[in-house]
Structure 1
């Protein structure tokens, strides 16, 4: 009975997922934008900001659901609006703050002042509030969305609904980390959440060589009428992403480190009691339109420094350790 109920739930959200997909035309424009083009966001620029969001969700102890929702909001907004790189920091942090308020318990949501200071961005609380309003309006206030994580949790439950022997082996936490790694690459923004989640699940099950679980996953695929060719395509991309992610050259969150090692400059910035930035001009609200003049966007702020790039020298990799929040007053200065 539980499996039947879960299948119905999966089918219902499968029919709704298209409502929460980024516009493919907008994603294609981002992919075609070069890194040196200051008039638009490049895929590499977008990916760097998503890594920053992962860093911040780890730092504040937020859930995977918060991170995945923030990325969904960010991609949908970027695919809809014409955005200059200098505006991206404010947009990405706004998406994270919106997601946090939608998912986390109110007592666990950090203040906007704290979020801005820790993210080392150059905008004010009022700028953040203004941007959140624009994002919410442009997305028609559809802020609690269906994501790949939604499907991943349901797939995991239904796959294990008839067995208990494999629950420890088919680790949901591991699948969530793999999903987060995929979301750091814009290529996966074009994947349907249902197919991305199934790609992750079936790849992990095959690695386990668990025929009984694979049959359950295949049943889900048939139930949703997902074509073999489509699933194989995304599984190939997932496999490549996991290979790259597991390589020594790839920076990843280090949950064993309890202290965030920062430079003297960064530590002084975080410990400053007053954070002052200049007033910023009006946020542009131009939609993606190739026929529009590319000069129509106003500047939001001065150029923003990437959190991950700045931490590349100040720390060992672009991520904050998960438990640093518990020891927020213990800074170790580097030279």
Structure 2
């Protein structure tokens, strides 16, 4: 049900939305665990917000290197945050946990022929643990999450909302909401701990609201705003709550586009691969899909 969002055979919007909302709360990181991470001192002994964000950027670099889908990245982040919120791990184990969450997401979202070997993932990510270490950690992650792998992420809601809104717009107005740009913005938000405590449905709605306000403030589009207002009422989201999250998203994207934040670096993953590793990689590993830039639009 979570996988089926758009397409000719998709279920009605109301049914899809209900299915996602029913699972949303159960697949969110526990707030108490997130607060522990948020309050942890940066002394190298405990998990911190800074370490979490760094690990997510590493996962985004891997996603770009292999050309994996946005679904894979969003699910990997969800698994990582849920695990960190229930387990107190040492910083030295974070890389192994992160790579395990990524590997689980890859095996869940990608075609079987595209799934790399665990040994290749370890070499490319330049980690020192073994395949056996990774397999043991993967088992721990799955057990602590009660084997509940598939989860409704903000990407699911974003795509569903986008598809629903597009059906209510004319041909000209439809071009005003670029899904690729919205997904790129969502990836930037995933790299910030701030959004781990926000419901995926609300984050997706805030992205759409911000995009509508930013791109069309000089050229109002009543049909688009009416569609967003109707969606807000369907979700029973309070206006103040949406404004607050929208401002957080705007701040995150502003920082992401500046030099204040370290952006995911896919280049490092390419030039530091040894010749031996390169010869062992499948040809498809070199088809790198880059994270699209978030272009600036003017009125």
| Normalised TM-score (structure 1) | 0.76
Structure-2 residue corresponding to 1:29: 36
The structure richer in helix per residue is: 2
Match of 1:91 among 93, 97, 105: 97
Structure-2 residue corresponding to 1:297: none
Matched-pair contact (CA < 8 Å) for 1:35–1:45: no
1:20-169 to structure 2, matched below 5 A, reads 20-38=27-45, 40-163=46-169, 164-169=171-176
Mapped to 2, the partners of 1:76 and 1:52 lie a distance apart of: 17
Matched-pair contact (CA < 8 Å) for 1:66–1:99: yes
Matched-pair contact (CA < 8 Å) for 2:189–2:195: yes
Structure-2 residue corresponding to 1:235: 246
CA RMSD of aligned residues (A): 2.5
Mapped to 1, the partners of 2:276 and 2:239 lie a distance apart of: 51
Matched-pair contact (CA < 8 Å) for 2:23–2:151: no
Residue correspondences, number: 272
Mapped to 2, the partners of 1:261 and 1:127 lie a distance apart of: 24
What does the per-residue CA deviation read over 1:151-181, in whole Å, with 9 as the maximum and x for residues that have no partner? 0000000111122323333111111111110
DSSP 3-state at the match of 2:168: coil
1:1-335 to structure 2, matched below 5 A, reads 5-38=12-45, 40-163=46-169, 164-209=171-216, 210-252=221-263, 262=271, 266-268=272-274, 271=277, 325-326=286-287
Distance verdict in 2 for CA 1:103–1:42, change over 3 Å: same
State the 1:5 CA deviation.
2.1
Distance verdict in 2 for CA 1:213–1:273, change over 3 Å: closer
Matched-pair contact (CA < 8 Å) for 2:123–2:277: no
Mapped to 2, the partners of 1:133 and 1:14 lie a distance apart of: 28
Structure 2 unaligned residues grouped into runs of 5+: 1-7, 289-299
State the 1:9 CA deviation.
1.8
Distance verdict in 2 for CA 1:33–1:223, change over 3 Å: same
Mapped to 1, the partners of 2:285 and 2:115 lie a distance apart of: 16
Matched-pair contact (CA < 8 Å) for 1:118–1:270: no
| Normalised TM-score (structure 2) | 0.84
Greater shift in the superposed pair: 20-29 or 224-233 = 224-233
Greater shift in the superposed pair: 221-230 or 59-68 = 221-230
Matched-pair contact (CA < 8 Å) for 1:260–1:324: no
- The structure that has the greater radius of gyration is 1
